Amino acid sequence: AQRVTQPEKLLSVFKGAPVELKCNYSYSGSPELFWYVQYSRQRLQLLLRHISRESIKGFTADLNKGETSFHLKKPFAQEEDSAMYYCALSTPSGNTPLVFGKGTRLSVIA
């Protein structure tokens, strides 16, 4: 069965400091991995997906199959990055529903 683990419930960093939100997964095949973000009082929205290898709002994430990880990184945190971040996994082509981690709350301190 697929599983996503986000080991940190809360991560607090100072503005301008680097951010790394950890995500580990369990899946025997080649996963499709995503990061979703939920800002205060807003709906869950897609931040990025690993296959597009893009950078959104300065965030990047690299799939490491050896370590089964998909950590989310940003070199310089901004106050507006404060939100809940969820890592999610699906199988290729999206034929199984997304499995989410429990989420990490990022708090950026001014």
- The least distance separating other proteins from the CB of residue 84, rounded to whole angstroms, comes to 9
At residue 72, the 3 state secondary structure works out as strand
Q: Does 107 participate in binding other proteins (rule CB under 8 A)?
A: no
2 and 15 in contact (C-beta within 8 Å)?
no
Sole window of 13-21, 32-40, 59-67, 70-78 interacting with other proteins (rule: CB under 8 A): 32-40
Q: Does 98 participate in binding other proteins (rule CB under 8 A)?
A: yes
DSSP for 44-65 reads -EEEEEGGGT--BTTBEE--BT
Residue 21 neighbours by CB distance under 10 Å: 24
The site that binds other proteins (CB under 8 A) totals a number of residues, namely: 26
Interface ranges with other proteins (CB under 8 A): 4, 6, 9, 32, 34, 36, 43-46, 49, 51, 86, 88, 90, 92-94, 96-103
